[in-house]
Amino acid sequence: MKIAIASDDQKNIASHLGRAEGFIIVDIEKGKVANRVYRRNDFTVHMSGQKESGQGAGRHDSVMAALKGCQAIISHGMGRRLISDLEVAGIETYLTEETEIERVIKLYINGTLDDNWALGCKHD
Q: For residue 98, is it within any domain?
A: yes
The residue-averaged pLDDT of 58-74 equals 80
Note whether residue 109 is domain-resident.
yes
H or E stretch at 85:
helix 80-88
Euclidean distance between CA atoms 45 and 52, whole angstroms: 6
Q: What is the dihedral of CA 2, 9, 21, 38, to 10 degrees?
A: -40
Model pLDDT for residues 1-44, shown as the tens digit of each residue? 999 999 999 999 998 887 888 899 999 999 999 999 998 888 66
* CATH classification at residue 7: 3.30.420.130
49: confidence class by pLDDT, cuts 50, 70, 90: very low
Q: Is residue 9 assigned to a domain?
A: yes
Surface-to-core class of residue 92, CB atoms within 10 Å of its CB (0-12 exposed, 13-18 middle, 19+ buried): middle
Residue 101 counted as domain residue: yes
pLDDT of residue 57: 47
Please tell me the pTM assigned to this model. 0.82
Q: Per the domain annotation, does 13 fall within a domain?
A: yes
Residues paired with residue 2 on neighbouring β-strands, in sequence order: 27
Q: Which domain holds residue 25?
A: 2-119
- The total number of structural domains that make up the chain: 1
Q: Is residue 119 predicted with pLDDT exceeding 80? A: no
Structure confidence at residue 63 as a pLDDT band (50, 70, 90): confident
Assigned domain for 124 exists: no
The DSSP bridge partners found for residue 22 are 7, 40
Does a structural domain hold residue 25?
yes
Sheet order of strands, 22-29 included: 32-40, 22-29, 2-7, 72-75, 92-95
Summary mean pLDDT of the chain:
83
Provide the pLDDT for residue 59.
61
